[in-house]
Homo-oligomer: A and B are copies of this chain.
Amino acid sequence: MSVQAVEATASATVANLGVGFDILGMALQAPCDVVRAERSDAEGVQIVAITGDAGELSRDPTRNTAGIAAAYVLGQIGAAAGVRLTLHKGLPLASGLGSSAASAVAAAVAVNALFGEPLDHAALLAASLEGEAAVSGRHADNVAPSLFGGITLVLGAAAEAIYSLPVPPNLHLALATPAIAVPTAHARAVLPPSVPLKALVHQTGQVALLIHALYTGDLALLGAALEGDQVIEPARAHLMRGLAEVRAAARARGALGTVISGAGPTLCSLCDSEAVAERVAEAMREVYAELNLPAAIRVTQPALHGATWRAL
């Protein structure tokens, strides 16, 4: 069965989760990117329109993460027809929320659905990574949770290296995205090339505690474990103006822990109720306002399911 047009939705993601640098990612219920895909008589991928990006993303499908993922799917399924894509960016660009990954995932899922879902999850992961790699490097810590949902352990680029971890039921998140530019390449460049063995022991211990906290649903322990990072955040903290103040203010309003989302600048505070998360987000915004930094705030929860699609 095939249809003429579909719309796929893929969500924002928080990669790293503090001490889980390069191995953990969490899908959010919002914000989301939406890709509409229609069959086209012209071969290959066209990007008809992009909304919500303030004109910053390329309409050239070979230079756009959604276009690249869509082309990969077309190639894999050997489609004779082409596709026309419309991309609605719900995610802010360069915010550390996995914007390029969400667009790639939504495009891959949409084009696959348009042709009757011939590709399985593993192939969709490969397609999404193809798009992500063009922009952010071939790493699945945003793509995997956006595609599969939940909290994922990402040990490689293939589907068999992705493990689904439990999501504590009462986990609520307060996000604040200040108007700071933190290029991912720069955030990578400031990391130390090596770490003392003692730091390795500390980080592995905190990661073990984090997984234990996820399985036991102990949110206070989870917050402590996430913040136990003594390697990545100290190296990046100077790129995140207001980090210490925002964390302190969030904690004072009841947040259990605050981490940099991906390579930043978005900060993500873990909370145990929506009411606390609302208070915490407002407190984060106020701290940034005092620093003369406009910040977009949002309250959401982890998404239990991955990317979805519907026929139009």
Contact = CB atoms under 8 A, between A and B. Distances in A.
How many copies of this kind of chain does the complex include?
2
Interface stretch (A94-102, A170-178, A205-213, A289-297): A205-213
Interface in A183-198: 191-197
A115 interface: no
Contact of A212 (B191, B194, B199, B211): B211
Contacts of A212: 153, 163, 165, 211, 215
Interface residues on chain A, size class: 20 to 34
A231 interface: yes
A209 B19 contact: no
Contacts of A155: 205-206, 209
Nearest to A193: B197
Contacts of A203: 200, 203-204
Interface in A209-228: 209-212, 215
Contacts of A165: 212
B197 A195 contact: yes
A246 interface: no
A22 interface: yes
A16 to B, nearest CB: 11
B197 A191 contact: yes
Contact of A204 (B19, B192, B194): B19
A23 interface: yes
A183 B206 CA distance: 28
Contacts of A19: 204
Contacts of A54: none
Interface string A5-48: 00000000000000111111000000000000000000000000
A1 interface: no
Contacts of A194: 194-197
B153 A201 contact: no
B209 A207 contact: no
Nearest to A228: B155
A251 B75 CA distance: 41
A76 to B, nearest CB: 28
A168 to B, nearest CB: 13
5 contacts: A153-B212, A155-B206, A192-B197, A193-B196, A194-B195
Interface of A: 19-24, 153-155, 163, 165, 191-197, 199-201, 203-212, 215, 231
